[in-house]
Amino acid sequence: MQFPGSAKPPVGIVFDSAMARIDDVLALAMLHGFEGKDQARIAAIAVSSGDLRAAQFCDAVNRFYASATTGQAAMFMHFAPIGLADGKPAGESLMFSKPAGATGIKSINDTADPATLIRNALMAQYDQNAAVVLSGPATDLARLLDMYGVKDWIARKVRLLCATQTGMQADPAAAEKVFAGWPTPIVTVGREIGEALPFPGESIAKDFAYSGAHPIADAYRAYQPMPYDAPSWAMAAMLYAAHPNDGYFKPSGSGNRRALVLDPEQKERIIRTYVEMASAKPVPRKPRRPPDDKKDEKKQDPAK
Amino acid sequence: MITKKSLPRRTFLRGMGTAVALPFLDAMVPALAATRSTPPVRMAFVYVPNGIIMDGWNPDYEGPLGELPRILKPLEPYRQDITLFGNLTHNTGRALLDGAGDHGRCCASYLTGVQPRKTVIDIKAGVSFDQIVANQVGKQTRFPSLELGMEDARQAGDCDSGYSCAYTNNLAWKSETQPLPPVLDPRALFERLFGNGTALTPAARARENLYRRSILDFVSDDTRKLETGLGPTDRRKLDEYLSSIREIERQIEKAEKDNAQIDPHMEKPYGVPADFAEHFKLMTDMMTVAFQSDLTRVVTFLVTHEGTSRPYREIDIPDGHHPLTHHRNQPDLIEKVTQINSYHVRQFAAWIAKMRSIGEGDGSLLDNCMIVYGAGLSDGNRHLHEDLPTLIAGRGGSHFKSGRRIVYRKETPMCNLYLAMMDRMGVHVEHFGDSTGRLDALDLT
């Protein structure tokens, strides 16, 4: 949520992913890291795989990063729903075999339709101050484009859609539709980018140790036998969405449909940023809206 | 002898500037009609402000309604007649960059489905969906719609953080710049319903007061003539109906008498009962008559306005309603808000009982209605616009499978419910507000 009266807030990011690979999980952690450091805000999180456990995981991760918030801010804290595509997941990911922590999601009715959630979230963003990160099939975004009047909202609010090519392959028809009809620039992250920028597995033991039950570290360990480094397609997309002009990547060519290009000289810096953001500690959140006692007093009906 | 003749649906009892519409009688059904005439479907909205303590509203189950939570307890005897909804959301009530002012926004967006402009001068919201319905079905009734309320109908000034009082004090919007202020005074409403569509002139009222005559006295000749042609069932129905009108008159007279004995510093409009329950009953009694006699099929009822600081001394709560709702999780304050919420539902349940007791067609008057009871905020403490407390009493003309709690997915637009209701009213619209489709799972089939 954004409120006027202060400088334009950092970019609001919609993260729509299949939550099927560990880089999706790491990108989610990065997004929380960006938010904690006021470099981006979470506008919406949606899971396109239909896996209820993935939605529960995202919700638990939200709560983990909110755990540093106390007092009045905690009292007024409100967890936005997680979007979850209505469908059967392709398979059961090992990442979510262990509960990630407390969650408010018990059934699909505790989640939101992704297209509606994203539409509603975009309406709350300043113009040209939102970005969408897509790591998975474009099914949700294709449905979003079908919603009445939404294309105008996307054009008005979103400055960039950053999508991983590997994820979109799962639904070619949706990908085609989004490429044809999405009204803002699209930048794609090719397979080679994620493979050239592996997230270092050694960071899990070292940088996430501040919590004995870190949901991101637990998911990383559960995903496949340790030690391993993880390709970073979703992380690259997240980094570019949050910092498109900070020299991490350069998009190729010109026009509204471009691809990320890696400058080998930036490789070390990018991986360092991955680790720093994904392992960032939870920080206290500001109150959503402090109660205004004076307003309440003023509102006493004079007729009474 | 069986004939094709029947009593016209639009029959009035007339006399001395008065026109009393009739309820749906068997005599209005042509004996040899090819298809049986069915009563019309009506809809009403009963809006309560400042959110509701949701722990006392939401059952912990879905499906068939069993034991109801504390706030809804008064509706338990009628649970087969209600449908409870979960997770309906008004995104346009949220800040969406407009900052504080949730009370103004949630009321203005409640039936319009649009985010109102934040202003105290050049107000702008949208045509409310009750008015879209009224524009179409209202041609068949004497009043396209009725807008009722019980508190403060100021239209100017700042009522919530830069939002005009026009936003907090109206539910129905004729156009995007023209709200329809509610009628608060039972006397004014009574005269509007039965006084040939216009309030009695002061002279006429004085004459009526002088002789202390009932409005039914004015139409007694017509009543006698009509009765001679009615069967025993219709005669009983007519008698009950006219008795209910007389009872409303008595209540208004009593309220006016009581008001005369009240501290004169209390600025109460003429005829408005000082007692909340009494006022509520009068207004809903008149809604009942209006529906029963097909004077209108669309009613909005703003019980009290958003952000109200009305105290509830009737139930020993001298604190203002709105400040109490910012309870900061203090149990004693939550308890008081719960009591206010329960008190409101108790009044509503009494109305539902009455609507249910009136036979119409093959069922009850309630069966042929969709009466929405709800609020534009769920958690008033945090000003949340999701999982809005919403129920429908009635079956919309035997369309809805009631007696259930249906929980939809989070963020499901409230406007999806409105689309489904418009269908039941015979008004077909593809999109309304931020709708994403029609609410499913409602129908019998």
On whether the CB atoms of residues B343 and B61 are closer than 8 A, the answer is no
CA distance A111 to A86: 10
pLDDT band at A296 (very low <50, low <70, confident <90, very high): very low
Q: What domains does chain B contain, in order, with CATH numbers? A: 1-35+187-271 (no CATH), 38-184+292-445 (3.40.720)
The pLDDT assigned to B175 comes to 95
Residues of A with CB under 8 A from a CB of B: 1-5, 75-76, 78, 81, 108-113, 115-117, 119-120, 123-126, 147-149, 288-289, 291-292, 295-297, 299-301, 303-304
The pLDDT assigned to A290 comes to 42
- Comparing A238 with B4, the larger pLDDT belongs to A238
pLDDT band at A298 (very low <50, low <70, confident <90, very high): very low
The pLDDT assigned to A51 comes to 93
What percentage of chain B exceeds 90 in pLDDT?
67
The pLDDT assigned to A58 comes to 97
**Interface contact B100-A289, CB threshold 8 A:** yes
Among B383, A222, A103, B279, which Cα is nearest to B269's? B279
**Interface contact B384-A112, CB threshold 8 A:** no
- Comparing B27 with B185, the larger pLDDT belongs to B185
Among A15, A101, A107, which Cα is nearest to A66's? A101
Chain A residues in contact with B384 by the CB 8 A cut-off are 78
Interface of B with A in 159-178 (CB under 8 A): 159-161
Could you count the other beta carbons within 10 Å of the beta carbon of residue B150?
22
Chain A residues in contact with B328 by the CB 8 A cut-off are 75, 291
Q: What ipTM does the predicted assembly reach?
A: 0.91
Q: Check whether A234 has a pLDDT greater than 50.
A: yes
Nearest CA in chain B to A118: B411
Give burial (CB, 10 Å; 0-12/13-18/19+) of B342: buried
Chain B residues in contact with A4 by the CB 8 A cut-off are 97-99
The DSSP secondary-structure symbol of B316 reads T
Mean pLDDT of all residues in B315-331:
95
Length of chain A: 304
Write the residue in A112, A125, A291 that is nearest to B411 by C-beta: A112
Mean pLDDT of all residues in B169-181:
95
CA distance A294 to A297: 5
- How does pLDDT run across B140-169, given as a tens digit for each residue? 998 999 999 999 778 889 999 999 999 999
Q: Check whether B1 has a pLDDT greater than 50.
A: no
> B317 - beta bridge partners?
B312
Q: Check whether B262 has a pLDDT greater than 70.
A: no
Chain A residues in contact with B383 by the CB 8 A cut-off are 289
> A163 - beta bridge partners?
A134, A188
The DSSP secondary-structure symbol of B365 reads T
Q: Check whether B266 has a pLDDT greater than 70.
A: no
- H helix or E strand, kind and range, residue B134: helix B129-137
The pLDDT assigned to B211 comes to 56
Averaged pLDDT of chain A:
90
pLDDT band at A1 (very low <50, low <70, confident <90, very high): very low
Q: Does B384 reach chain A within 8 Å, measured CB to CB?
A: yes
- How does pLDDT run across B37-76, given as a tens digit for each residue? 789 999 999 999 999 999 999 999 999 999 999 999 999 9
- How does pLDDT run across A8-24, given as a tens digit for each residue? 899 999 999 999 999 99
What percentage of chain A exceeds 90 in pLDDT?
78
Chain B residues in contact with A112 by the CB 8 A cut-off are 409-411
Q: Check whether B3 has a pLDDT greater than 60.
A: no
The encoded tokens of residue A166 equal 């590997």
Annotate chain A with DSSP letters as a single string: ---SSSSPPPPEEEEEE---SHHHHHHHHHHHHHHHTTS-EEEEEEESS--HHHHHHHHHHHHHHTTT--HHHHHT--PPPPEE-SS--SS--GGGSS--S--S-SSGGGSB-HHHHHHHHHHTS-TT-EEEEEES-SHHHHHHHHSTTHHHHHHHHEEEEEEEHHHHTT-HHHHHHHHHH--S-EEEE-HHHHHHSPBPTHHHHHHSTTSTT-HHHHHHHHHSSSS--B--HHHHHHHHHH-TTSSSEEE-SSSSEEEEEE-GGGHHHHHHHHHHHHTPPP-PPPPSS---HHHHHHTS-TT-
The encoded tokens of residue B390 equal 């919403």
**Interface contact B311-A111, CB threshold 8 A:** no
The CA distances from residue B163 to B111, B159, B168, B301, in Å, are: 17, 6, 8, 21
Q: Check whether B235 has a pLDDT greater than 80.
A: yes
Q: Check whether B273 has a pLDDT greater than 50.
A: yes
Chain B residues in contact with A108 by the CB 8 A cut-off are 409
The pLDDT assigned to A214 comes to 95
CA distance B191 to B198: 7
- How does pLDDT run across B371-429, given as a tens digit for each residue? 999 999 999 999 999 999 999 999 999 888 999 999 999 999 999 999 999 999 999 99
**Interface contact A109-B97, CB threshold 8 A:** no
Chain B residues in contact with A148 by the CB 8 A cut-off are 430-431, 435-436
On whether the CB atoms of residues B128 and B173 are closer than 8 A, the answer is yes
CA distance B16 to B408: 53
**Interface contact B409-A3, CB threshold 8 A:** no
pLDDT band at B22 (very low <50, low <70, confident <90, very high): confident
Q: Check whether B269 has a pLDDT greater than 60.
A: no
Mean pLDDT of all residues in B219-247:
83
- How does pLDDT run across B325-350, given as a tens digit for each residue? 999 899 999 999 999 999 999 999 99
Radius of gyration (C-alpha) of chain B in whole angstroms: 22
Alpha helices, H only, B261-384: 276-292, 321-325, 331-357
Nearest CA in chain B to A127: B97
Annotate B245-268 with DSSP letters as a single string: HHHHHHHHHHHHHHHHTS-TTS--
Q: What is the largest CA-CA distance in chain A?
A: 72
pLDDT band at B205 (very low <50, low <70, confident <90, very high): low
pLDDT band at A47 (very low <50, low <70, confident <90, very high): very high
Q: Check whether B190 has a pLDDT greater than 70.
A: yes
CA distance A300 to B320: 7
Chain A residues in contact with B51 by the CB 8 A cut-off are none
Task: Please name the residues in contact with A295: beta carbons below 8 A apart, sequence gap of 6 or more.
Answer: B100, B161
Which of B124-138, B144-158, B192-206 has the largest mean confidence? Answer: B124-138
Interface of B with A in 266-295 (CB under 8 A): 267
- Comparing A68 with A29, the larger pLDDT belongs to A29
Amino acid identity of residue A195, one-letter, is: E
Radius of gyration (C-alpha) of chain A in whole angstroms: 19
- Comparing A206 with B27, the larger pLDDT belongs to A206
Q: Check whether A87 has a pLDDT greater than 60.
A: yes
Can you give the three-state secondary structure of A68-82, one letter per residue? CCCHHHHHCCCCCCC
Q: Check whether B4 has a pLDDT greater than 80.
A: no
The CA distances from residue B379 to A235, B65, B353, B382, B384, in Å, are: 36, 23, 28, 6, 5
pLDDT band at B25 (very low <50, low <70, confident <90, very high): confident
**Strands B63-64 and B404-413, bridge-based pairing:** antiparallel
On whether the CB atoms of residues A131 and A243 are closer than 8 A, the answer is no
Among A98, A61, A101, A59, which Cα is nearest to A222's? A98
Q: Order of strands across the sheet with A158-164? A: A83-84, A41-47, A12-17, A130-135, A158-164, A186-189, A257-262, A249-251
**Interface contact A109-B410, CB threshold 8 A:** yes
- How does pLDDT run across A166-204, given as a tens digit for each residue? 989 999 999 999 999 999 999 999 999 999 999 999 999
The encoded tokens of residue A136 equal 């998975």
Q: Residues A200, A206, A207, A211: is their CA dihedral positive or negative?
A: positive
The encoded tokens of residue A36 equal 């904690």
Q: Check whether B261 has a pLDDT greater than 80.
A: no
On whether the CB atoms of residues B5 and B29 are closer than 8 A, the answer is no
Q: Check whether A299 has a pLDDT greater than 50.
A: no
pLDDT band at B209 (very low <50, low <70, confident <90, very high): low
Q: What domains does chain A contain, in order, with CATH numbers? A: 12-298 (3.90.245.10)
Nearest CA in chain A to B384: A78
CA distance A147 to B435: 9
On whether the CB atoms of residues B151 and B283 are closer than 8 A, the answer is no
Write the residue in A75, A78, A291 that is nearest to B384 by C-beta: A78
Interface of B with A in 99-118 (CB under 8 A): 99-100
Write the residue in B91, B329, B430 that is nearest to A75 by C-beta: B329
In the block, tokens 């202060």 appear at A6
- How does pLDDT run across A101-134, given as a tens digit for each residue? 889 999 999 999 999 999 999 999 999 999 999 9
The pLDDT assigned to B201 comes to 61
The CA distances from residue B420 to B129, B368, B432, in Å, are: 11, 15, 11
CA distance B297 to B134: 8
Averaged pLDDT of chain B:
88
